[in-house]
Structure 1
Amino acid sequence: MQTPHIVCFGELLWDILPTGALPGGAPMNVAYHLHRLGLPASLVTRVGADERGRGLLGIVKEKGISAAGIQVDPDTPTGIVLAQPGENHEMHYDIVAPAAWDNIAYNEALAGEIAKAAYFVFGSLAARQPVSANTLLRLLDTPAIKVLDINLRPPHFSPPTLETLLHKADVLKMNLSELELISSWYGNAATLAEKTDLLRDRFRIPTIIVTMGADGAAVDVAGQLHRHAGYKVEVADTVGSGDAFLAAFLSGTIRQTPVAETLDFAAALGALVASRTGGWPAYSLEDITAIRGK
């Protein structure tokens, strides 16, 4: 199988946790896990011309991920997020502004790279400010399979912008609370299946992934809902676990693995990452297999 070109667009930043600073940002998390799963991905983002930015560039290169699409902003600092754990291991985020990743600039070379991609992974958070939002909207004309990772962090989203992104998505990934909120804008669907049906029909999205924390996950593929109860682990933090889940799901999809097996693999990797600190823990395929009990 020819290895597909995968591009992840959006924020690259430092998560400032009570235990210290860790590199993060959903697009980078997804790229990192794709790379560990044998599917190299490139990253399109922007960092500041500062110590934090240089640190991130060094880590990206160290992890074997292409930094060719990382712009350096001479005037705006590298992004940081103040992260605090809450009840049930849920994380609370203060996404500090200004941040360089809000200023991702469009250029023809970038558009040319995106045009060659088989998959284009992007999130809603990168559309919170006009410069990156406009760049993203122009790049969404790509023929690539477009993967939208909804990431609702109030007040950093608006329904009109989300609708625009949803109309472009071929694959949608969201958590349960995001599904409940967005589906409520369009109707009174009661069950999870009815909610995914509503969004699939309204926006013509073939695949909708819903992560549900300790309750597992579900995926709606062309109207058929598959569920997984999840794997029970001792949670260190949930930073990046959903991003790992998405990367694992895309890995299975690209390799044409049956949906149920892909969902199981994704649930295992999501649980594994939740059992370790930060969004970029080291692990092997054997570690995932151990979680699955195989």
Structure 2
Amino acid sequence: MADAPDVVFGEVLFDRFPDAREVLGGAPFNVAWNLHQLGEPVLFVGGVGNDAAGARVRKAMREVGLAEDALYTHPQAPTGAVQVTVEDGEPAYYILPDQAYDDLPATVDPAVPARTPLLYHGTLALRSGNRELLAALRRRCERRFVDANLREPWYDPQDVRDLLRGADVVKLNADELATLFPNVPAEKRAERCLQACDIQSALIVTLGADGAEIHPRAGQPVRARAPVVEGMQDAVGAGDAFASVAILGLRRGWGWEGTLHRALEFAARVCTLQGATTTDPGFYRSAVAAWT
């Protein structure tokens, strides 16, 4: 299993801005990109359209050496897109329906190994289908990491709780935790989530600029504040950066406290980028060097 890749399943899409900019992203795609650039074997399972945007996704993957073997080309649906608008100075996001990542083949791609150390997924790519594929991928994984990444209006709280059930690690932000357990006092929500969703190893709760906390199934919670970001650009992809390093910590046995600090540090580094990722390998090398 040492050489088998982690499997990251979910959406890849472009954020489209009013000034005609298009930024490649999607939480699972960002996680796959980060893991690859940080030296972790990874296979991304997702879909693009038979269109120019899909060709751009493949080109970006090839340029950094990220395997595209399990990237499906949908014959009709377009490559995923999110329309970004600005309302009263604040960005608003409209996630387009019926995208290529919504309709993947139910059978597992031959590129996916029979056994994989870890499966990562969120919820958006499950909004209208892909459940048979998820079930098949789950049967192949040793451990499962779920990062909810709730996106209005594309989720139902009960369905999300069901998707979290039995995962090894779950990552939520504080607002998502409150959404899933609205009638539970704030100080009891993490414990309730661990129990109600039968989380096997730990619940991670991110708190934005206040840092994050990890609630192990066994043992005391660990908490840390986020480091100060020098050269702040934006927080796009910070949560995905945190999840990427949390996966590394789980794979490499760093322990919860070491994982927490390294994940917060890498998330802060990503805040110095414009967007969630970069093609600069030096950015990732410097992060790895800081850990060793």
Alignment TM-score > 0.5, same fold: yes
CA deviations 1:64-109 (Å, max 9, x no partner) are 111011000111111111235789x986421112210001112254
Aligned-partner residue type, residue 269 of structure 2: L
TM-score by length of 2: 0.89
Q: Given the alignment, which residue of 176, 196, 203 partners 2:197? A: 203
1:40 corresponds to: 41
* SS of aligned partner of 2:35: helix
* SS of aligned partner of 1:140: helix
CA deviations 1:190-245 (Å, max 9, x no partner) are 31xx2111111112112111111111111112242111100121532222111111
For the 8 Å contact 1:33–1:244, the answer to whether it is kept is yes
Identity %: 31
Aligned-partner residue type, residue 100 of structure 1: A
CA distance in 1, matches of 2:225, 2:90: 18
User: What is the deviation of 1:255?
Assistant: 1.3
Q: Given the alignment, which residue of 225, 244, 253 partners 2:221? A: 225
Aligned-partner residue type, residue 150 of structure 1: A
- Structure 2 residue runs of 5 or longer lacking an equivalent are none
* SS of aligned partner of 2:263: helix
User: What is the deviation of 1:40?
Assistant: 2.0
Displaced runs of 4 or more, over 6 A: none
TM-score by length of 1: 0.88
For the 8 Å contact 2:10–2:122, the answer to whether it is kept is yes
Equivalent residues, number = 285
RMSD: 2.5
For the 8 Å contact 1:86–1:92, the answer to whether it is kept is yes
CA distance in 1, matches of 2:139, 2:217: 23
CA distance in 1, matches of 2:82, 2:53: 12
The worse-fitting range, judged by mean Cα deviation, of 39-48 and 134-143 is 134-143
User: What is the deviation of 1:289?
Assistant: 6.6
- Counting only pairs closer than 5 Å after superposition, residues 1-294 of structure 1 correspond to structure 2 as 2-17=2-17, 20-83=21-84, 92-110=92-110, 113=112, 115-130=114-129, 132-184=130-182, 187-191=183-187, 194-205=188-199, 206-223=201-218, 224-233=220-229, 234-281=231-278, 282=280, 283-286=283-286
CA distance in 1, matches of 2:86, 2:207: 17
Distance 1:90-1:6 versus aligned 2 partners, 3 A rule: farther
CA distance in 2, matches of 1:226, 1:84: 38
For the 8 Å contact 1:24–1:279, the answer to whether it is kept is yes
* SS of aligned partner of 2:233: coil
For the 8 Å contact 2:48–2:79, the answer to whether it is kept is yes
